[in-house]
Structure 1
Amino acid sequence: MLIEINLLQKKEPKKKAILFYILFLVVITLILGIALFSQYREVTTDIKSIDQQLTAIQIEQKEFETNTKTESPTVQKINELKTFTDIAKSNQLDTVDLLTRLSKLLPTESYFTDFQLSGNVMNVTVHIQKEMDAAFYYRHLLNESWIENVILEQVVANRTGEEETENQLSTYVASYKIMIDRMTLKELQKEASE
């Protein structure tokens, strides 16, 4: 019987499993590190873009606030115009009734060639047949209660021929400036409508 004595220690087989496990952990750690680093970069770029958007929104908000402060006078102007138009509507005259009243006073064979109303002043141009009709119309206008004052600005003769004879003067044009009393005229218009 032979006995073998080996004084050398027996080598333990290398544990490949531990090496493989350590390598696996290093690879996983690297993958996780890369993933976390990419997520970190993505989050930081998102934060930067959100910060930029936030500053842009804050700038727009400041501009809007300054615009609303500067538009405040514009809103005031709009309100002033609205009140002015409301007042103008309340002071509005019935021009048809006004023209009817003026035309009733016209001499026969006379008619209006121009009519302008601005505030309480009317400029009226009348085409008449005789020079005396201008004076009669002037007198009739002065007698009306709703007329404050009348100015006969001019009477111009329309000549039909080159020679100045009385037979060739066919018509005249008279211009009047009439100041009206709106309150009295409105009262008369209300009475006429009732």
Structure 2
Amino acid sequence: MNPARSECLSYEDRLPVALRPAATNGIPGGWQEQNLRVLAAIATLDERPRLDPDSGTGAEFERLHRKFDVMIELLGALLRTQSSLPQPQMVRLSSEGLSLPLSEAAPSPGSLQEVELHLHACAPSPWRWLAEVSSHEAGELQLRFLPMSMALATALERHVFTRHRRSVADARSPARLALAGRTS
């Protein structure tokens, strides 16, 4: 069964991702806490309070928010120049696992892999976890995450839900529908 296409919610995105054979069968110390911090940072970066833009304070807050967005993007660009990111590829991520395009160098089913996902361009570090290669199906490499704490599973589910909701909203946006109408 494909963990990223199972009944649980998932989203697709082009993300820098790396797989390495796992050095251990257990989750390395500190990964739970680090991943919680990464997901909290991404949630904070994505957070957008709803204010009345017609009010004086709402308009001023929006203006400041846009300035901070620019600063965060600049910082993210600086971080990307200082580090070597894995090659971006299409990834389907769920709280249970992920799938990505199958390559000739794909690890074999049953092998344990260290997954490194860069979920946001401005996140301070990647999200890391161990996953078992469950199968090679329909041109995809499918991996199932090893069990994680309830707090981390909840944070990952929240991240997936937010990204899924955003992708649905983007697909329904009038601008995207207008573009799709012109190309059909």
Range class of TM-score, shorter chain: under 0.3
Provide TM-score, normalisation by structure 2: 0.27
| More helix as a share of residues | 1
| More strand as a share of residues | 2
Provide TM-score, normalisation by structure 1: 0.26
Structure of greater relative contact order (alpha carbons < 8 Å, 6+ residues apart): 2
